[in-house]
Amino acid sequence: MSDDYYASRGRQVPRGRLSRFGQFGRLAGGVAGGMMAEGVRRLAAGERPRMRDMLLTPGNMGTMVDRLSHLRGAAMKLGQMISMDAGDMLPAELTQIMGRLREDAHHMPPAQLKQVLAQHWGKDWRTRFEHFEPHPMAAASIGQVHRAISRDGRELAIKVQYPGVRESIDADVDNVATLLRISGLLPRELEIAPLLAEAKRQLAEEADYEREGAQMVLFGELLADAPDMVVPQLEREFTTDRVLAMSFVAGQPVETLESAPQAVRDKTMALLIDLVLRELFEFGVMQTDPNFANYRYQPDTGRLVLLDFGAARTVNPATVQGYRRLLQAGLAGQRDEIREAAVAAGFVSSAAVARHGTRINRMTDVILGELNRPGPFDFADRRFVGALREEGMDIAADKESWHLPPVDVLFVLRKISGTALLAARLKARVDVRSMVEQRLNLPSSGLGLARNASI
């Protein structure tokens, strides 16, 4: 392994609890200083500054992104989840800045990488490879990925976990939650303890690479009948709980399809949407992280490469039934049944329905109108999002209506919303209705239900 290593993005990962806590302290201090400066600037301009306006400045968000990228691990992962899950609900500037967390990670410097690999493979690990590429081809929140060629000629992708990530999960999650509380972005009245506990559990699972390897094998078996999907093969010889080895599968970032012909974009998103439906209603297992980096596209074969199965999890049968009932009611255009199903599944609270029934009905009508529109759904047409945002913000402003859905519902919703976000970016057109009907084993209802959109 050469020491002539690409170092411009190399940055030592803080390992100990104290060093990571110090990074959070510097982050809080930097943001507080930025808020004070912004407050003074607004006061001098004759404005009455609001907490949110002082916090969400490019400077402050840049500070948060830089520090979270440095910490990596659970801290960065939670930042990615916030930026992905909020979707159209975040201010445009914040969405753009937080989006950097999905594509702008630092990697380990060479000395730290060598130390980690020696710990898991032994000091003579270099002798097991014909070549090991020192510069990672990808760096994310929990680990970085290297290409390698084994002594017998196998081309491999090796994911190496950052040191200290697993040990820091609980503290990182608590620290990020504290920052959100202090910032005012997280309502104090909202009980998030169950969500934090689940986040810790899932992040611990994602940090277990032997578990991820088993999930990758499982998905390879589940998708054996899907010739348009490719899942890498696990290389057990080189895999440990913190180093994951798999066959290298070539592909280009799925976002590059933005300039592809419409038919290619439509087919790609149809494959991904059908995958979500199969995970939910057929497999009972779902890869719940919809990060765009987890999908690659092979232009020569038209196949999709699926990566990163750390967030794969069993879906609670009650959650499956909740989504089934909700979709069935939507396809039938039954607004009252949709509302009842949403409350039963935990999407909304009965208090929100009682206090904002008219707004919820209007939001339901918007969704029904889109769901029952004849022909393929055009994900590039985002006009309906504004109507939903306006009604949703009014409901969210009422503290008595605040409600946290069950964590299992949230993780499935995260996969669905992230897939829709990618479809919007690719401006895909997909006949989602017929796909849902097929996976729910419902008879195709044609255009007749469109008349029920405004029930």
* Residues tagged active-site: 289
Closest CA to 309 of 422, 198, 210, 416: 210
Q: How far is CA 58 from the centre of its chain?
A: 23
> Residue 454 gets which letter from DSSP?
G
Closest CA to 66 of 113, 110, 34, 92: 34
Residue 262 Ramachandran class (φ > 0 left, ψ -120 to 50 alpha, else beta):
alpha
272: which 2 tokens? 């991904």
**Which 3 state secondary structure label does DSSP give 442?**
coil
Task: Please give the Cα distance from 294 to 415 (Å, whole number).
Answer: 12
Instruction: Find the radius of gyration of the CA atoms of the chain.
Output: 23
Helix axes 58-71, 73-86, angle to 10 degrees: 130
Closest CA to 175 of 286, 78, 105, 85: 78
Hey, what amino acid is at 405?
Answer: P
Strand residue runs (E) in 380-430: 429-430
Hey, what amino acid is at 94?
Answer: L
**Which 3 state secondary structure label does DSSP give 132?**
strand
Helix axes 317-331, 335-345, angle to 10 degrees: 170
Task: Please give the Cα distance from 373 to 383 (Å, whole number).
Answer: 14
Measure the CA angle with vertex 248, ends 222 and 241; round to 5°.
75
CB 47 within 8 A of CB 41: no
Judging by DSSP bridges, how do beta strands 229-230 and 303-306 pair with one another?
Answer: parallel
CB 191 within 8 A of CB 223: no
